Structures are given as structure tokens and as C-alpha cells.
């Protein structure tokens, strides 16, 4: 997919105000305001400051020295990152508009790139992008009433570093519990038992989630992890059906029942999409479709992952 907004932005940049970021094996070229990218997080700030200063105005025009390379990232994911970087306040609106116009077979492609964005943002320590991706994933799963497939869980617990995927794992575990306590759980339970045997961490997280739900007297059958309520201080009735706004955010432990810092910074608190009835199991995403997720952090322990040479 292509985001016309980001193309309009990058098309107007020139000179020393610009950093070119080459992404993926094909080195797709993104031109981004140097200051904006540098101030987004310490990762980009460090690497931008390491770029040699231009020796002449001509060097600025050529832009040859103002280049970063992310060889192991997905260009489509980075395009969504650029959209978020420039349009943080309107990011949910852009995603919603895209979902209304794109072909249905592209929905899961967008989902895949949001997962990649979440992991990429976790690694470069950019909580705003990480949590925006998490919110959008929840909203998409609510909109289409998707369940958490075995392959996605295997991806999170088998291919991803626990530190970087911790919020995705927490949400996915809640989704699994919700599925296993649903109306049609026999087949899902069989798949879950195999996953528990293969991934002990998943089994431990699952039982920890059930313990927390029991302590809060929540009914796992109706407390929907797709549903992101627009506050953290909830009334008793609200807590029965959905999760707090920041439950799966990077700052959840420090916020408590206070205001989400992202919403506070943007001057608003986004409302969740309205709940929709659960559909038949024929509509559950398949393992084959989940196989489209290719980890941007497949080799997290290798220094070369974020090599900007």
C-alpha cells in the first residue's frame, strides 16, 4: 500500500534539512525532516549526529552524506512509521480511512505491518509509535472480530524477543483466554494445548492472566481484549466488557488509573470503535494468513539488526 500523505510530505523536502532513510534490501528511499526524526528518539538522534557535516551547500543539495540505511526493515512498515511521525494526532483517522477504501485482502497486510511497527518501535525505544500500533491493532481486531490464531502466538513466543514483544504477548494471551472460554472452544483448546507444550512461557502467561482476571472478578468470557475503553479509571460495569485504555501500553505500570500520556500530549482521548457481534468461526483468521507475518526482529540478538551502515 502507499500513503499519499507521506509522499506529499517527503516530496517537498530538500537540502540539509533532510535525512534520507533507505529501507530494506531494495533500499526504498524516504526523505524525512532531520530535526523531526532526530527528536523522535535517542536512536535516530545518535545516528543522525554521527553523519558528517556537509562541507558545502552543494553537498546539502546532493544529500549524499545524509543517508541512513535500515537494511532489515520492511519498507511498507516504515511508510506507516513516517505517517505516524508526521501525523500523530490524525494517525487513527488515516488508518480508519484506509480501511474503508482498501481491498479486504489487504487488511491483514496492514495488520502485519502494524505488528512490525510495534516491534520496531519497541527496539528503538519509541513508546508513542509502539502504543499507537497497539491501539490500532486492537481496533482492527474489534472491527473484523478476529481471534488470535495459533501461528501468531507461535510467532510471538518462538520468534520474538520477550522484552520487545511483551505488550503484544500480554494482549495475545488475553485474546487466547477470551477465545478458549468462548462458545466454540474444543478445536481452539486442542491447538492451545500444543502451544503450551511447545512454549512454556505462553502457558505461564496464560495462567497468570487467568489469575489476574479471577482476582478482579472479571468474566473471561465477556471481557473483550479487542475493546479498548477510552479511559483508565473505569466504573464497575465498564470493566466487565473491555480493557482500560492503557492496559497494553508501554507505560501501563506507571499510569495506573490516570490519564494516558499519549492522549494528554495530543490533547484528546481517542474513543474506541463500537463493539460488533462475534461471528462464526469460519471468519477466524487462518494459520496460512498469519504466516504472512515476517518478523522484523528475527535475529534480535544480532547487532546487525539495526545496522545503519
State how far the Cα of 251 lies from the Cα of 79, in Å rounded to an integer: 25
Within a domain: 6: yes
Residues 184 and 282 grouped into a single domain: yes
Within a domain: 197: yes
Residues 79 and 114 grouped into a single domain: no
Residues 36 and 102 grouped into a single domain: no
C-alpha grid cell, residue 190 = 486442542
Residues 80 and 224 grouped into a single domain: no
Q: Per-residue pLDDT tens for 243-294?
A: 988 899 998 878 888 888 887 776 654 444 444 444 344 333 433 343 333 3
Within a domain: 266: yes
Q: Per-residue pLDDT tens for 97-106?
A: 999 999 998 9
State how far the Cα of 209 lies from the Cα of 174, in Å rounded to an integer: 7
State how far the Cα of 172 lies from the Cα of 3, in Å rounded to an integer: 28
Within a domain: 306: no
The pTM score is 0.80
Residues 76 and 108 grouped into a single domain: no
Q: Which domain holds residue 257?
A: 88-298
Segment 202-208 mean pLDDT: 96
Residues 33 and 110 grouped into a single domain: no
Total structural domains in the chain? 2
% of the chain surpassing 90 pLDDT: 51
Within a domain: 303: no
Residues 149 and 208 grouped into a single domain: yes
Structural contact between residues 74 and 24, judged by C-beta atoms closer than 8 angstroms: yes
Q: Please list, in sequence order, all residues whose beta carbon lies within 8 angstroms of the beta carbon of residue 34, skipping any fewer than 6 positions away.
A: 16, 17, 18, 19, 48, 66
Q: Are strands 18-23 and 28-33 parallel, antiparallel or unpaired?
A: antiparallel
Q: State whether residue 130 is helix, strand or coil.
A: helix
Residues 203 and 79 grouped into a single domain: no
pLDDT at position 40 over 90: yes
Residues 137 and 264 grouped into a single domain: yes
Amino acid at each position: 500500500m502507499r500513503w499519499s500523505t507521506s509522499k506529499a510530505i517527503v516530496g517537498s523536502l530538500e537540502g540539509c534539512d533532510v535525512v534520507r532513510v533507505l529501507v530494506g534490501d531494495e533500499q526504498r528511499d524516504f526523505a524525512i525532516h532531520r530535526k523531526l526524526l532526530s527528536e523522535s528518539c535517542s536512536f535516530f538522534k545518535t545516528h543522525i549526529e554521527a553523519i558528517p557535516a556537509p562541507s558545502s551547500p552543494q553537498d546539502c543539495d546532493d544529500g549524499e552524506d545524509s543517508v541512513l540505511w535500515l537494511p532489515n526493515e520492511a519498507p511498507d512498515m516504515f511508510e506507516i512509521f513516517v505517517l505516524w511521525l508526521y501525523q500523530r494526532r490524525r494517525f487513527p483517522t488515516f488508518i480508519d480511512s484506509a480501511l474503508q477504501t482498501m481491498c479486504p485482502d489487504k487488511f491483514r497486510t496492514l495488520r502485519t505491518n502494524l505488528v512490525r511497527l510495534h516491534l520496531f518501535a519497541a527496539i528503538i525505544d519509541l513508546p508513542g509509535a509502539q502504543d499507537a500500533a497497539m491501539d490500532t491493532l486492537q481496533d482492527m481486531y474489534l472491527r473484523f472480530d478476529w481471534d488470535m490464531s495459533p501461528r501468531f502466538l507461535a510467532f510471538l513466543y518462538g520468534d520474538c524477543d520477550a522484552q520487545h514483544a511483551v505488550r503484544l504477548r500480554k494482549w495475545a494471551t488475553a485474546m487466547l483466554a477470551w477465545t478458549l472460554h468462548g462458545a466454540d472452544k474444543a478445536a481452539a483448546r486442542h491447538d492451545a494445548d500444543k502451544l503450551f507444550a511447545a512454549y512454556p512461557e505462553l502457558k505461564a502467561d496464560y495462567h497468570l492472566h487467568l489469575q489476574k482476571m479471577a482476582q478482579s472478578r472479571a468474566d473471561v468470557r465477556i471481557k473483550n481484549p479487542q475493546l479498548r475503553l477510552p479511559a483508565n479509571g473505569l466504573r464497575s460495569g465498564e470493566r466487565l466488557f473491555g480493557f482500560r485504555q492503557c492496559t497494553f501500553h508501554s507505560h501501563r505500570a506507571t499510569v495506573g488509573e490516570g490519564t494516558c500520556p499519549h492522549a494528554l500530549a495530543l490533547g484528546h482521548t481517542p474513543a474506541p470503535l463500537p463493539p460488533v457481534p462475534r461471528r462464526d468461526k469460519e471468519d477466524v483468521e487462518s494459520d496460512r494468513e498469519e504466516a504472512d507475518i515476517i518478523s522484523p526482529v528475527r535475529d534480535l540478538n544480532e547487532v546487525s539488526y539495526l545496522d545503519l551502515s
